Structure 1
């Protein structure tokens, strides 16, 4: 913990307006909305609420920036990279403040929030180095032609940013888009916790009871409380709506016959805290098995064979991440090939890695983020064919 600077418990809120055309402005309508501290349910401040008129303004400024011959279009790729690198340095400089501000806004434990800032800075550096390395290919084609491809920016991009990792997601959308030469417009989405939380846990029948007992023990040891405390593992849910949804699903699990090993209720107090909850005896047809809870709830299923668990793991509309823990390499490789998920971890779970692509199968999103694969989403491929004159015989 020594590597983490202490949190700022009351970080100053410096900006509450919309950022359009390189300046902070009020919304056209003048509307605002309150942002709530999930730790105590109190208002932090009022933030400008953008709507269609504000998006139109942002699009017009983006069009001007992207116009052929504009300073942005003519900027050297290496200079775009240098700008991204400068943003990364500023983020590192202010990581303590930014992490503290995120903890205030969404209740994420400060250690996690500070880590997100440093991860985001490293991601920006990664794409800063990619800015002048976006190149096409020369392609041998039939006939007297030279053929090559140009990777050109798509243009104006709209990005929906979830609030679970707001700074990380901002960097994830901003960096590759600017590295490829786009201009980019952001829209926040509803607030959600970790999208790859390992809530559906399949355990072999031979070790099931032992695993459930250990999970219960570890969940009971998790500290749920003040997110600014370094020992806190679970902060509050991000808002009242999510808090109520999680409690409603917990109640559904109880009614449908799953066993509550620990937790299963609100933690009390003024904030949106829920006790870390473990369910055993979960069946595939239960709501807690089929719906995304997005909360501190673990569902433990029992299985008996590899073929069975792959089939059951795939029986969902989602497919973002999956993991297997085994000492048998054949079992691991069969699982890797069989499970329908965008990322599969073997003997680990969700290690931070911005160099590798991230995305899901089925309803867990389109395309891939992070790594080289992310760049392709912001590029159009232009094929150029040039007639080559030949010497007269």
Structure 2
């Protein structure tokens, strides 16, 4: 019998007890992994063990896939009308809203994020996602197509079947919901593999799926390592699609595995090395605030390359460094904290190695650059200047509190700098010139452009990268297309041979 993790919070921001089942959620049941393996879950704020969750392997994945396959054929897919799928998605959204603070608390604890941010952004957007796609569940229409009077032709948008969802550790709840909601609205059954580092919110979500009344087997959640459970899901011949958010190297491996197995459909939301451009006509105060917020997160869309026009460079840098130096590090359940820890010891070591490479390659360290004192996986917000395009800190996705700053002269030069990367996820810039806003938006080689803000998403708007930042789109109506397949039907109205 799977165990339950119970944690009592007694903080200024949240006081209460939260319970999470730590087993595998397969066919509506909580199970231990077949071989009894577990994953140790660490609190990144203090480095201490929180709990253990089941570590599923290939046999557990197969059990979940077979449950999803049966459910698709018998109780979901074309067996359940869209309005009923929509009703269940709305019910799930209501339950997330009812448990809003408890989910935010467990997510903040597990991922080292600030409770208020999780409550305001992650959980709220998760609710919105299920409600948004609930409205689409009975509106994914085909078309009638005129050909000739002797034929009636139409298209159907049908679910793929069993889909595998692999979510990342930095936004474990909301990015899982961004996959689950359109997949279920379109009529698919799912096997979700949450991140091994931050699995707890997905397990809370599983309990709410059960409470909402989804038929057994429609949603299955298997915790496990990427190299075992994740690889087994990607390679499984009964899985028709994989939706993955994570690094570009892993995305390449997923494409290889798909090619070698059953040519699964793929949605890959991969890495980014995103630029923010600050033109000399920008509202400097707003540009500063948005840039400070956007540079330092553990997020693929972080604006970690900052390009500032030379006429305002000195004024911007003075205020930017002062703002960064005033950032307060600490546990996310304290109101007076601006930045939490990185997610793990392994990731802390990785980020510190990048900082050392910047020093070795001759970049100028302006501030930060070291691990913060005390327990937990904290790194001081770090800024480098005097960087060159070939430096690792300029080329590679660091995924931590490290930003590089350079100056530019002209609009053309800024665009060239911003596009000088094999990534193409997001781009940001600040200007008061409407003509420039349109010109630069068109010129940036990225999937999403934000003018006069950094990352500021909405569930209705598609998100996904160009170049090696992935393929396919998440969010919005476009996400439904990735979870359906189009069938053309031709009916002969009387042509005889």
TM-score, normalised via structure 1 length: 0.94
Query: 1:284 aligns to what?
Result: 389
Query: 2:295 aligns to what?
Result: none
2:96 pairs with 1:100: no
Per the TM alignment, residue 13 of structure 1 is displaced from its structure 2 partner at its CA by: 4.0
Per the TM alignment, residue 75 of structure 1 is displaced from its structure 2 partner at its CA by: 1.5
Per the TM alignment, residue 143 of structure 1 is displaced from its structure 2 partner at its CA by: 5.0
Query: 1:325 aligns to what?
Result: 430
Alpha-carbon distance between aligned partners in 1 of 2:422 and 2:377, rounded to the nearest angstrom: 28
Q: Which among 359, 362, 369 is matched to residue 254 of structure 1?
A: 359
**Residue-by-residue CA offset, 1:75-131 (whole Å, 9 max, x unaligned):** 121111010011111111111111110111110111111121011101110001110
2:334 pairs with 1:229: yes
Query: 2:179 aligns to what?
Result: 173
2:320 pairs with 1:215: yes
144-153 or 333-342: which moved more?
Answer: 333-342
Q: Which among 28, 32, 41 is matched to residue 35 of structure 1?
A: 41
Alpha-carbon distance between aligned partners in 2 of 1:343 and 1:196, rounded to the nearest angstrom: 10
Query: 2:303 aligns to what?
Result: 198
Per the TM alignment, residue 15 of structure 1 is displaced from its structure 2 partner at its CA by: 1.2
Higher RCO, Cα 8 Å, sep 6+: 2
Query: 1:51 aligns to what?
Result: 57
Alpha-carbon distance between aligned partners in 2 of 1:245 and 1:178, rounded to the nearest angstrom: 36
Q: Is the 8 A contact 1:7 1:96 kept in 2?
A: no
Alpha-carbon distance between aligned partners in 1 of 2:418 and 2:476, rounded to the nearest angstrom: 27
Alpha-carbon distance between aligned partners in 1 of 2:133 and 2:322, rounded to the nearest angstrom: 42
Alpha-carbon distance between aligned partners in 2 of 1:73 and 1:22, rounded to the nearest angstrom: 20
Structure 2 SS opposite 1:178? helix
292-301 or 185-194: which moved more?
Answer: 185-194
Any unmatched runs of 5+ in structure 1?
none
244-253 or 373-382: which moved more?
Answer: 244-253
Query: 1:130 aligns to what?
Result: 136
Alpha-carbon distance between aligned partners in 1 of 2:404 and 2:153, rounded to the nearest angstrom: 55
Give me the CA root mean square deviation: 1.8
Q: Give runs of ≥4 in structure 1 deviating > 6 Å.
A: none
2:159 pairs with 1:153: yes
Alpha-carbon distance between aligned partners in 2 of 1:276 and 1:159, rounded to the nearest angstrom: 32
Alpha-carbon distance between aligned partners in 2 of 1:51 and 1:190, rounded to the nearest angstrom: 12
Structure 1 SS opposite 2:406? strand
Any unmatched runs of 5+ in structure 2?
1-10, 198-245, 247-297
Question: Matched residue pairs, number?
Answer: 386
Alpha-carbon distance between aligned partners in 2 of 1:297 and 1:304, rounded to the nearest angstrom: 24
Per the TM alignment, residue 389 of structure 1 is displaced from its structure 2 partner at its CA by: 3.3
Structure 1 SS opposite 2:18? coil
Q: Is the 8 A contact 1:11 1:100 kept in 2?
A: no
Per the TM alignment, residue 293 of structure 1 is displaced from its structure 2 partner at its CA by: 1.0
TM-score, normalised via structure 2 length: 0.75
**Residue-by-residue CA offset, 1:325-349 (whole Å, 9 max, x unaligned):** 1122222222111111110011112
Alpha-carbon distance between aligned partners in 2 of 1:165 and 1:223, rounded to the nearest angstrom: 21
Structure 2 SS opposite 1:50? coil
